Structure 1
């Protein structure tokens, strides 16, 4: 045992007040056990509104209970449930210049039960051309106030089909009202003189659930959040007979890290600040879990958020390294780096700014409210071939790296947890 602890001390550089023995409680065996359970086939890809995600929630809840976490402020249970609406297509018909469009080449983002559009100038028409960035246009459309018909060039067929599949399972809305609608059509007719569209949807009221627990600190109303999303994309088109998108890296790995950090901090003396550990639901469907969570607390009382996503594979910076999205938006990353000085661990600025990762995970909701909320990740997203596929399996993960990432976050977060470090706030006016 002494040899193992000595080796760990050398690996960590031992530059903080955290002892090697304490970090040694974060074991690779335990990491493997948790991430294996969350990414197993019997979780069925953990898609929202499925038995698989319910099973995952119960497992995380049982682990939180075993660890000894308490419900977060305002809750009387570790399960933070809330109602949503799912709008699922029943029938889709469209014509451009009298040419009928195949249903699989249509999807809509709407909260309406029925849509019936004809070319009378009432809908704005936009194009996603051959050289346009599909995701950038989609993000821009979030701020659009009018009904929009979006014509998508066939070059974007792969990403179009991905979105069409998601929307086919049902889009999720917090409220139903008089919001605008967007209809996307995959076509080479980007300047039609006439169009007609008819869409019929089924509307269901369903439930989503975050799993959230707390270790109360001496400063009860100063919160530090550790989080990861436990949902994924469920059952997909079979590839070599495999249809389950297990989501091992996205984000069973991050959820596992959050759970192991909860157990780690529970074994320490009472923290200075109150620690909140949250497994978010419905990140893949629009971040609804983190949005609901953010509405239950005063964001001014949240000192920092360590959101953890896709940390199961080594980063481009080498072993024991990760990056922080939105690094320049607060000094949380710098504070983390200072805590890791003298160790083999390192945190770097996000090397993929063109991917807009700061806005693509659950940190974004709290960052928009001024919280120093960032995502820790190590995935080489520009090269990763398993992202959102059935190949995101346990065998793709590097368990030694994942274990070291959890230990690194434990070291890097220590100053914020013990009240010695207070990161600067995010400028809300600079967050879109």
Structure 2
């Protein structure tokens, strides 16, 4: 018994020692996040010079850390988006005029006429996650007519936000509020289509014995930019959302490169356009064979204490794979805890940048501390570095590094997401 107790105490002390001696320093965390959330970057809004500056800063950080680009010679993973300004839209059902406010059309075509007879029909029901399903349908590669349950009538106009930016596509998707007769519906519309350039920032650390198996650490680096002034401040800095997650990705890249013992290939990704519909992560996910992605740890808003206080965070979709259990196991003996997502009604698992790969079966989860029922600075100009707990944030980044060790070493492989309920 004494030997068992002694061994247990030794194991616990080893874990505590390992956590304390992970070389991720609060000084470095502070320096990185202070740049990303500075007024000079003006909130890192998509399609602005400032988000380009943020991307360049992250790319330089990856280069200095010793990463390699995912493809080619650049850390920037560039892609095109289009935006559509509607100039006119008319609709008729059985010869009767339909209120155009009850239709939102996503299209890359300047002129288009759609008939319900030639469209695949889908539905967003009252029990669905409205925006998650809408984003999924908006990315369709075939023409769709999506009937939206009248229960979402108050949210329906917000679908027009999807027209601000989307991937160029030969397909068009018409969302129609459910009280419209869609049996003989014809929609005619004209749009002014503009093309825009965006870029994720992606670097890799090649693995050794299992180089063709990938572990991803990710976060989005965009935010809201300049907005409505509050107490004289119009810059929505996005320190917690999500300069905190991006900082974690940069610091983890530096740490694992210095450690130099990863058996699996590590990919570090900073996504653009999360606030606009998750387009950066959608594009990124299409560049990788999902069967080669072992795990994705997406990091979203870790700058404030969780509902359990310090040294804790939660994992979205905890029950969908055993990744969370593996992370918990690797933290035994430390004073840090990962918990299941305490906000299941928010359906966070499919609302962040992990969602695209999760829908493809990857053990892709988001780690966060955000109190979804009480984050006073969320999407406000007051989301600044001064409101964050950088000591605790550093502890979270260290915990992520330690908890992922067996996955990175190739000794643990998380189970896959059951995607049968998504078909």
Give secondary structure in 1 for the equivalent of 2:266.
Answer: strand
Q: Deviations over 1:99-158 (max 9, x none)?
A: 9999xx9965433424679999x99999999x99864774686589644586979994xx
Q: Is the 8 A contact 1:125 1:151 kept in 2?
A: no
Out of 165, 172, 196, the residue aligned to residue 166 of structure 2 is 172
Q: Does the 8 Å CA contact 1:363/1:375 hold for their aligned counterparts? A: yes
2:44 is equivalent to residue 50 of structure 1:
no
Contact persistence 2:302–2:368 (CA under 8 A):
yes
Contact kept? 2:108, 2:170, Cα under 8 Å: yes
Aligned counterparts of 1:351 and 1:406: Cα–Cα separation in 2: 20
Identify which of 403, 407, 414 aligns with 1:423: 414
Using structure 2 for the length normalisation, give the TM-score.
0.81
Alpha-carbon distance, 1:75 to partner: 3.4
Distance in 2 of aligned mates of 1:123 and 1:422: 38
1:171–1:77 CA distance, 2 compared to 1 (3 A): closer
How far the C-alpha of 1:181 sits from its partner, in A, is: 2.1
Please give the residue correspondences for 1:182-261 in structure 2 after superposition, counting only pairs within 5 Å: 182=175, 200-219=190-209, 220-261=211-252
1:11-90 correspondence runs (5 A): 14-16=13-15, 19=18, 22-23=21-22, 25-72=23-70, 74-82=71-79, 84-89=80-85
Query: Does the residue aligned with 1:47 lie in a helix, a strand or coil?
Result: coil
Task: Note the C-alpha offset of 1:184.
Answer: 7.4
1:98–1:417 distance in 2 versus 1, CA, 3 Å: closer
Structure 1 pair 415–379 and aligned structure 2 pair: CA distance change class (3 A)? same
Q: 1:153 to 1:356 in 2, by over 3 A?
A: closer
CA distance in 1, matches of 2:408, 2:120: 51
Contact 1:216 1:270 in 2 (8 A): no
Uncovered stretches (5+) of structure 1, i.e. residues with no partner: 1-9
Secondary structure of 1:181's aligned partner: strand
- Aligned with residue 256 of structure 2, among 247, 251, 265: 265
1:298 is matched with: 289
CA contact (8 A) 1:15 1:343 kept: no
| CA-atom RMSD in angstroms | 3.8
Alpha-carbon offset, residue 95 of structure 1: 11
**TM-score where L is the length of structure 1:** 0.80
C-alpha contact 2:407 2:413 (8 A) present in aligned 1: yes
Aligned partners of 1:123 and 1:149 also within 8 Å: no
Could you tell me whether the CA contact under 8 Å between 1:231 and 1:251 is conserved in 2?
yes
The residue number in structure 1 matching 2:365 is: 374
Does the 8 Å CA contact 1:88/1:167 hold for their aligned counterparts?
no
CA apart distance, 1:85: 3.2
Does structure 1 residue 287 correspond to structure 2 residue 281? no
Provide closer, same or farther for how the CA distance between residues 14 and 40 of structure 1 changes in structure 2, counting only shifts above 3 A: farther
Residues in 2 aligned to 1:382 and 1:318: alpha-carbon distance in whole angstroms: 15
Q: How many Å apart are 1:196 and its aligned residue?
A: 11
1:7 is aligned to: none
The alpha-carbon distance between structure 1 residues 385 and 160, as it changes in their structure 2 partners (threshold 3 A), is farther
The alpha carbon displacement at 1:276 in A equals 0.9
Contact persistence 2:51–2:222 (CA under 8 A): yes
Change (3 A) 1:183 1:386: farther
Q: How far is 1:307 from its partner?
A: 0.8
